[in-house]
Amino acid sequence: MAGKVTFTMIKPDAVESNNIGAILQKINEAGFRILAMKYTKLNSESAGQFYAVHKERPFYGDLVKYMSSGPIVAAILEKDNAVADFRDLIGATDPAKAAPGTIRALFAKSIEANAVHGSDSDENALIEGSFFFSQLERF
């Protein structure tokens, strides 16, 4: 499945603002198929684990607090060139720098509360997808 799937989360700010439906519509319109989806909540331990790669960055503590502050939607998405195309669809990390029409430009509140996550490589898409979903081979 390398190259064909990516992993996303709709983050607490976007869930709180009732933007799950609008964001999923954007994702579908861009040609992504939802292979698995879960509405759930991270506690601080699991958010810390998910973002462990950012442990040394100054915003890590705040990020863990934010990502465990409310429910999220986790999903595995399928499309050719999924990782790169999804990063294009969501836009830059900082919504002030995200291209017009991207999900972060439309829905993000701040560089931290930036509406959605998108994997940055095929390898991380598998690691992150496995964090929330078992039996990935079925996809």
Interface characters, 13-52, with ligand IDP (x: CB under 6 A): ----------------------------------------
Q: How many residues bind Mg ion (CB under 5 A)?
A: 1
Residue 117 appears among annotated catalytic residues: yes
Residue closest to 77 by CA, chosen among 114, 42, 29, 109: 29
* 63 interacts with, out of ligand IDP, Mg ion, none, CB within 5 to 8 A per kind: ligand IDP
**104 touches which of ligand IDP, Mg ion, none (CB within 5 to 8 A by kind)?**
none
SS3 track for 57-107: CCCHHHHHHHHCCCCEEEEEEECCCHHHHHHHHHCCCCHHHCCCCCHHHHH
**Is 112 a residue that touches ligand IDP (CB under 6 A)?**
yes
Cα–Cα distance for residue pair 78/135, rounded to 1 Å: 16
Considering only CA atoms, give the Rg of the chain.
14
Residue type, 29: E
Binding residues for Mg ion restricted to 62-121, rule: CB under 5 A: 120
Half-sphere exposure of 69 (CA within 13 A, CB side): 16
Smaller CB separation from Mg ion, 28 or 121? 121
User: Catalytic one among 64, 117, 118, 132?
Assistant: 117
- Provide, rounded to whole angstroms, the least separation between the CB of residue 7 and ligand IDP: 11
Q: Which residues are catalytic?
A: 117
Residues forming contacts to ligand IDP in the complex (CB under 6 A) are 54, 59, 63, 93, 111-112, 114, 117, 120
